[in-house]
Amino acid sequence: MSTKPVTAGEIFLFIPNLIGYSRVVLALASLAVMSMHPKVCTWLYALSCLLDAFDGMAARKFNQSTRFGAILDMVTDRCTTSCLICFLCSTYPNWAIFYQILVSLDLASHYMHMYATITSGATSHKKVAKDRSSILSLYYTNSTVLFIVCAMNEMFFVGLYLYSFPPKTPPHLGYYKDIPLSYPTIILIFTFPVWLLKQVLNVIQMVAAANILAAADVEDRSKAAALESAKAK
């Protein structure tokens, strides 16, 4: 598909970016009802997250991949997840520091990863070479793996959110000791391994980005030292 010149205004109206805006609207709507209507909030939040898969498909189909769209996508993901975790901090105050660490890890790893890819000259944060990290390369280049890991990660936090609302009637699946085997509990059990993997990936991503940035610093300083040495001669 050919690429023709466009204006900045047209970039903002690209189909994947319009999908991105709808994700923001749905996420804001879910926040508005988060403390009052868990079912409505869950459907709005889930729909916002689900559309994350379609903006990338639209970008490829219509040849409308843009830097703005990539940043919009990542910022929406980070902000949406962070807002949900902020709610969990108020719902589970004894676990607040744990959730604060999770938010910090998520934001730090993705910001460092984005900056490192820009520094290394990559055109997208999803283009990760295997020699940099084979697991990150699989995560970002395999759309199925990326979708499953991100979806399970969000579902885990949604499960925690739903678990904070006591059921009006006893759960249909019975009890095991003091833990109600309700649907939120099943979601948490089912998604926990992949959620844990996502946190490990965040750590790996942050370390890999730190190494890239440090290597760039070494290269810059070596060039500066060589330039000073040449001037001295």
Can you give the residue ranges of every domain in the chain? Answer: 8-232
Mean local confidence (pLDDT), 178-199: 87
Check residue 125 and give its pLDDT. Answer: 66
**Annotation says 217 is catalytic:** no
Residue-wise pLDDT tens digits, 189-223: 999 999 999 999 999 999 999 998 999 899 989 98
Mean local confidence (pLDDT), 172-193: 74
Catalytic one of 52, 55, 77, 106? 77
The pTM assigned to this predicted structure is 0.86
> What is 8-232's CATH number, 1.20.120, 1.10.3470, 1.10.10, 3.30.70?
1.20.120
| Neighbouring-strand partners of residue 180 | 175
CA distance 146 to 158: 18
Check residue 122 and give its pLDDT. Answer: 64
Residue-wise pLDDT tens digits, 17-49: 999 999 999 999 999 999 999 999 999 999 999
DSSP secondary structure code for residue 94 in this structure: G
Percent of the chain with pLDDT over 70: 87
Residue-wise pLDDT tens digits, 100-112: 999 999 999 999 9
User: With b meaning 16 or more CB within 10 Å and e meaning fewer, what string describes 38-77?
Assistant: beebbebbbebbebbeebbebbeeeebeeeebbebbbebb
Instruction: Show Cβ contacts of residue 137 under 8 Å, excluding neighbours closer than 6 positions.
Output: 128, 129, 130
